[in-house]
């Protein structure tokens, strides 16, 4: 099973989500991340995201930003979007119903209906990055439980 985490720049939220999810799922799962813009293509995650992950013993420093591609809709089984703008952008790139079905809002998929969006910490400070980490950690735990209990992979 292959899981793709998507945010805007692929340097803050989705790299954290990728790093967290990789620590939770067994090795036969493939987890990657991408952005909807290519502005930061080839860059490593934001230093504050790297530091926040490192504070939780997760190394995301080797990741590199890349934009989502058409091929991702075939490659991945599930595509989780960090906010509504990202979700709408990703949905607009889906080419058929099967691809459309793979896409969901990360927090709604994890059962957190109170918050629809993982807030963008890019313009914030380290506290914002830590809050995002906690939100992602809880969401990943829920999604991991769903995936493993579905027991179809």
Q: By CB under 6 A, name the binding residues for ligand 4NP.
A: 7-13, 39, 120, 122
What stretch of H or E contains 6? strand 2-7
Measured from each CB, the residue nearest to ligand 4NP is 9
CB-wise, 73 or 117, nearer to ligand 4NP? 117
CB within 8 A of 116, min separation 6: which ones?
83, 84, 105, 107, 108
> Cβ of residue 55: shortest distance to ligand 4NP, in angstroms?
17
Nearest to residue 65, comparing CAs of 111, 22, 114, 13? Answer: 13
Is residue 7 part of the annotated active site? The answer reads yes
Q: Catalytic: which of 13, 48, 72, 140?
A: 13
CB contact at 8 A, 100 and 75 = no
- DSSP for residue 115: -
CB-wise, 3 or 7, nearer to ligand 4NP? 7
Is residue 83 part of the annotated active site? The answer reads no
> Cβ of residue 65: shortest distance to ligand 4NP, in angstroms?
8
> Cβ of residue 75: shortest distance to ligand 4NP, in angstroms?
21
Q: Catalytic: which of 32, 46, 120, 140?
A: 120
- Cα torsion 122, 22, 56, 133 to 10°: value is 40
> Cβ of residue 23: shortest distance to ligand 4NP, in angstroms?
19
Is residue 140 part of the annotated active site? The answer reads no
Query: According to DSSP H, which parts of the chain are helical?
Result: 13-24, 47-55, 72-75, 84-93, 97-101, 106-109, 126-150
CB-wise, 134 or 145, nearer to ligand 4NP? 134
Q: Residues with catalytic annotation?
A: 7, 13, 120
């Amino acid at each position: 099973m292959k899981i793709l985490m998507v945010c805007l720049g692929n340097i803050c939220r989705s790299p954290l989500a990728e790093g967290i999810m990789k620590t939770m799922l067994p090795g036969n799962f493939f987890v990657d991340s991408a952005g909807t813009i290519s502005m930061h293509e080839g860059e490593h995650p934001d230093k504050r995201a790297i530091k926040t992950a490192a504070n939780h013993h997760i190394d995301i420093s080797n990741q590199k930003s890349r934009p989502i591609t058409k091929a991702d809709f075939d490659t991945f089984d599930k595509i989780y979007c960090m906010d509504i703008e990202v979700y709408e952008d990703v949905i607009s790139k889906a080419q058929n119903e099967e691809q459309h079905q793979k896409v969901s809002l990360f927090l709604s998929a994890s059962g957190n209906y109170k918050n629809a969006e993982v807030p963008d910490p890019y313009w914030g400070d380290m506290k914002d990055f830590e809050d995002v980490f906690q939100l992602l950690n809880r969401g990943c735990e829920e999604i991991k439980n769903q995936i493993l209990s579905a027991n179809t992979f």
